[in-house]
Amino acid sequence: MEISARARFAPSPTGRMHLGSARTALYDFLLAQKTKGQFILRIEDTDQKRTLEGAEQELKDGLRWLGLQWDEGPDVGGDFGPYRQTERKDIYLQYARKLVELDSAFYCFCTPEKLKKVRDQQIENKENTHYDGTCRNISIAEADRRIADGETHVIRFKTPNEGQTRVVDQMRGEMTFDNKTLDDIILVKSDGFALYHLAAVVDDHLMKITHVFRGSEWLPTFPLHALIHRAFGWKEPVWVHLSVFLKPSGKGKMSKREQADFIKDGKSIFIKDLRDLGYLPEAVINWISLMGWSYDSHSEFFTMDDLIDKFSLDKLNASPAAINFTKLDHFNGLHIRNLTIQDLSHRLVPFFEAKGYKPDPSIMEKITPIIQERLVTLDESVGLAGFFFEENVAPDVQELIPNKMSAGEAYAVANDILMVLESANTVAHEVLEPQMRELVEKLNLKPGQVFGILRVAVTGSIVSPPLFESMEIIGKEKVLERMKNAIKILGQMISK
């Protein structure tokens, strides 16, 4: 039996919630659920200059929409709060001081000008730029005096100068870094705010985090984070640096510009956009679950319950995942068909409302079964079924005239159709369809020609959900009205 995991999702509210953050949160959530542990949301907002207005809200909305409700964190509280790093400033200062006392950190009084000079010199010497160690050996007593005198300072980690640091990533295995390649990173800035490196390690310890999933962009500072844990004598969490996402072509990572540009093609890597585009959270979850994890070589349809049941760390993989929107469409279709009529019907309503329709719920439930099979996104349903809620439709005259028919012939057929409709005592599809097929035979035409006129007349479009089922939902009165309107349009065409 695995231990109960405490897994945290620790986003910085500096940008929009995208697939990468959603995947990290999903794996945290799955592990916590699977092991009956806790999923913790921690807002890492120490870099206040980069904090983006509304980003925290978008993150929380995104998590909730995806079904990733956190057990501890902002809004819900918990025993290890506060869960927003700007509210923990004093805790970090206290631990930074402790590190200085442990001789694993030092106060640094180097001015920006001096640091720049050192840097320029290193660049000139073709060395890797790094802190040159000037303040490493200033005693605490001297540092305290200078601080009391008001001298500006930061606190830096005292990285060992020699030897190597071995770290273990659960998925990637052991990695070794030469300590001389590691910089004395800043832990606390001159304004007294801790940087992410210190804050995250202190919080992971105090919040009793057992597993850290994060993006592989954190691999370069991985040894430093491990060293900070070790300097305090703390047990490290299990680390997993997840694979990177590549462009759909599989060639390289996406630029910010490319990320933003997807929306032009009705695609996006941002969670809120995917929601607005009509993707189901179930499909997005299924899709991203497989971008760094797999159950076996063939299974691909997973609900959240399946994932909780099947998720395990040993099936994670480090190979970069190309973003495949075709796959997302595929999963969306599968999950749309997996919904009950009632559920799907409820989810369609907001898309109709967004386009100005006021969909009657009982009609919506009748429409849903006839469009469920063909939907790729929820959003498409409006184009496909908006005509149900229109008072009138506006058929294009050219579309009312089937191939190989003149306007006059179409006009005559339309009148024949109207006669059948008028004499029918019901528009129930199982009654009306045979009657229309009889008409097709009588006129010696192709079903597509007669049904084509009828479809365009009633739905306003050459593509629609199944025609006879649709007419049944629209009702006889409106069907007749629309047919008469189509005849009028064809009549005007002829008299021109």
Sheet holding 105-108, edge to edge: 105-108, 154-157, 186-188
Pairing label, strands 186-188, 211-215 = unpaired
5 binds ligand GLU (CB under 6 A): no
Choose which of 96, 167, 200, 344 interacts with ligand GLU (CB under 6 A).
200
Q: Are 268 and 274 a contacting pair, CB within 8 Å?
A: yes
Q: Which of residues 415-444 bind ligand GLU (CB under 6 A)?
A: none
Q: Which of residues 41-100 bind ligand GLU (CB under 6 A)?
A: 44
**Closest listed residue to residue 279, CA positions, set 265, 264, 266:** 266
* Residue 132, phi then psi, degrees to nearest 5: -90, 0
Compute how many other C-beta atoms are within 10 angstroms of the C-beta atom of residue 90.
10
CB of 217 to ligand GLU, least distance (A): 7
Q: Exposed, middle or buried by CB within 10 Å (0-12, 13-18, 19+), for 484?
A: middle
CB of 212 to ligand GLU, least distance (A): 6
User: How far is CA 33 from each of CA 45, 47, 69, 222, 311, rounded to the nearest angstrom?
Assistant: 26, 31, 11, 26, 10
**Closest listed residue to residue 62, CA positions, set 272, 213, 263:** 272
Size of the site for ligand GLU (CB under 6 A): 9
Q: Mark whether 256 is an active-site residue.
A: yes
Choose which of 7, 10, 41, 385 interacts with ligand GLU (CB under 6 A).
10
197 binds ligand GLU (CB under 6 A): no
CB of 5 to ligand GLU, least distance (A): 15
One-letter amino acid for residue 464 of the chain? S
214 binds ligand GLU (CB under 6 A): yes
11 binds ligand GLU (CB under 6 A): yes
Q: State the Cα–Cα distance between residues 126 and 190, nearest whole angstrom.
A: 29
Binding part of the chain for ligand GLU, among 7-15, 67-75, 120-128, 474-482 by CB under 6 A, reads 7-15
Nearer to ligand GLU, 203 or 273 (CB): 203
CB neighbour list of residue 405: distance below 8 Å, 6 or more residues apart? 413, 449
Binding part of the chain for ligand GLU, among 104-112, 211-219, 243-251, 353-361 by CB under 6 A, reads 211-219
CB of 235 to ligand GLU, least distance (A): 17
CB of 447 to ligand GLU, least distance (A): 59
Q: State the Cα–Cα distance between residues 27 and 414, nearest whole angstrom.
A: 59
CB of 85 to ligand GLU, least distance (A): 9
Nearer to ligand GLU, 197 or 482 (CB): 197
Nearer to ligand GLU, 17 or 304 (CB): 17
Nearer to ligand GLU, 52 or 463 (CB): 52
Nearer to ligand GLU, 44 or 282 (CB): 44
Q: Which of residues 96-125 bind ligand GLU (CB under 6 A)?
A: none
Cα-atom radius of gyration of the chain, to the nearest Å? 32
CB of 91 to ligand GLU, least distance (A): 17
The partner residues of 38 in beta bridges, in order of sequence, read: 6
**Closest listed residue to residue 384, CA positions, set 372, 396, 395:** 372
> Distance of alpha carbon 55 from its chain centroid, rounded?
14
Nearer to ligand GLU, 271 or 410 (CB): 271
Task: Catalytic residue, from 256, 358, 404, 496: name it.
Answer: 256
Choose which of 65, 193, 218, 295 interacts with ligand GLU (CB under 6 A).
218
Contacting positions for ligand GLU (CB under 6 A): 10-12, 44, 196, 200, 212, 214, 218
Catalytic machinery residues:
256
